[in-house]
Amino acid sequence: MRLGPFEVLGPIPRAVSRPQKRAHNGFPGRLFVVEGIDGSGKSTQLSLLYKWLESKGYGVVFSQWNSSPLVKDTTKLGKKKKLLTPATFSLIHATDFADRTERSILPLLKAGAVVLCDRYTYTAFARDVARGMDRQWVRELYGFAVQPTVAFYFRVRLETAIGRLLDGRDGFKFYEAGMDLDLSDDPEESFRLFQGRIIEEYEKMIPEFGLTVIDATLPIETQQTRIRQIVESHLVKAAGLRIWP
């Protein structure tokens, strides 16, 4: 079968629960992911990295959190009607991730692509636990996931992130602000409390999963230079990557 420019040989393996393994063990492709709270600037950095890798001739593919057609409409409806509980949120996002893993991430890694993910399992580990889900249960739920080659965590002060977000919009969305948790009647204060919990979880994951910390308060160009250096150090040692002439 074909996925974009990539030809994938053999059947796509089903996503089943098993210990995580590194993307470079058994797969010719490489997997780089970005994590951080909203307003950290991670998506901007991933977009810049994508364009740079493409200009270098790498076969690069982008995957975004909560983008699977399998659950996209359900998630949208649930948010609109405010029906989502912490448990349903967790299960819907796990379903989205499993579908993208089975249908795109794994086949593309096998085809020798460089896969870039805007959010990965660590988003669920942070957000779901911040919503009250059991930490170990959430980790086991994503036991089928491939461990990234590098997972970048964009560390930023909460007030800086809030300022960035409010510069480009009027306010915060219901679930984004954690309004479903009854932390505060004020959306901005609820956002501050909810995202504060998420930051606490991310900080705990740095030593647990070896996240690569990027200072998200540095100039965009400085951050991007550091990210490219790290990514390139992994790509130059990789055999079997798709590189276009």
Q: The CATH number of the domain where 147 resides is what?
A: 3.40.50.300
Residue pair 100/61 in contact (Cβ under 8 Å)? The answer is no
| Range scoring the smallest mean pLDDT among 21-25, 74-78, 207-211 | 21-25
What's the mean pLDDT when you consider all of the chain?
A: 88
pLDDT of residue 245: 52
Whether 156 maps to a domain, the answer reads yes
| Range scoring the smallest mean pLDDT among 19-28, 42-51, 203-212 | 19-28
Whether 38 maps to a domain, the answer reads yes
Whether 72 maps to a domain, the answer reads yes
Q: How many domains does the chain have?
A: 1
pLDDT in tens, 180-196: 999 999 999 999 999 99
Q: pTM of the entire structure?
A: 0.87
Whether 118 maps to a domain, the answer reads yes
What is the residue range of 106's domain? 18-228
pLDDT higher than threshold 80 for residue 223: yes
Whether 177 maps to a domain, the answer reads yes
Whether 82 maps to a domain, the answer reads yes
Whether 12 maps to a domain, the answer reads no
pLDDT higher than threshold 80 for residue 143: yes
Q: Is 134 helix (H, G, I), strand (E, B) or coil?
A: coil
What one-character DSSP code corresponds to residue 208?
H
Give the CB-side neighbour count of residue 16, counting CA atoms within 13 A: 3
- Residue 164: Cβ within 10 Å count: 15
Whether 33 maps to a domain, the answer reads yes
Residue pair 121/91 in contact (Cβ under 8 Å)? The answer is no
Closest CA to 129 of 142, 117, 143, 139: 139
Catalogue the E-assigned strands of the chain: 2-3, 6-7, 30-35, 60-64, 114-118, 150-155, 212-215
Token pair 């992130």 is found at 161
pLDDT higher than threshold 80 for residue 91: yes
